[in-house]
Amino acid sequence: MASGILGTQQSLAANTLTTVYTVPASTVAYCNFNIVNTNATPVDVRVAIAAADTPSAAEYVEYNAEIGGYGVLERTGFAMQTGKKLVAFSDTTGVSISAYGVEESTS
């Protein structure tokens, strides 16, 4: 059972969907994420808990959420089943995301 950082901490490329974490087989993950804007100006971000690397509209948990200059967006308490992906997007560079939590075997 893993705990701590889930997936890879990422610096987001502008206008690009980035898969940050995928729940392994036979696992449920309890996940939180933190997005940091290292720019002095606001940015818009999107985050989805998705079945694929390209989320459907219904899978977004944040959509064009504005993060102020040097600000942080944090969401907690997502239970994600096997195969689900945490997918993030930013409208500009200078934005990073970290996912953290706990994985538990379902077998």
Task: Supply the pTM of this predicted model.
Answer: 0.96
In the chain, pLDDT over 70 holds for what percent of residues? 99
Q: How far is CA 28 from CA 33, 70, 102, in A?
A: 16, 32, 8
Tokens 């701590």 locate to 4
List of residues 6+ apart from 57 with CB closer than 8 A? none
Q: What is the pLDDT of residue 1?
A: 66
- For residue 39, the model assigns a pLDDT of 98
Task: Please check the confidence at residue 26 and state whether its pLDDT lies above 70.
Answer: yes
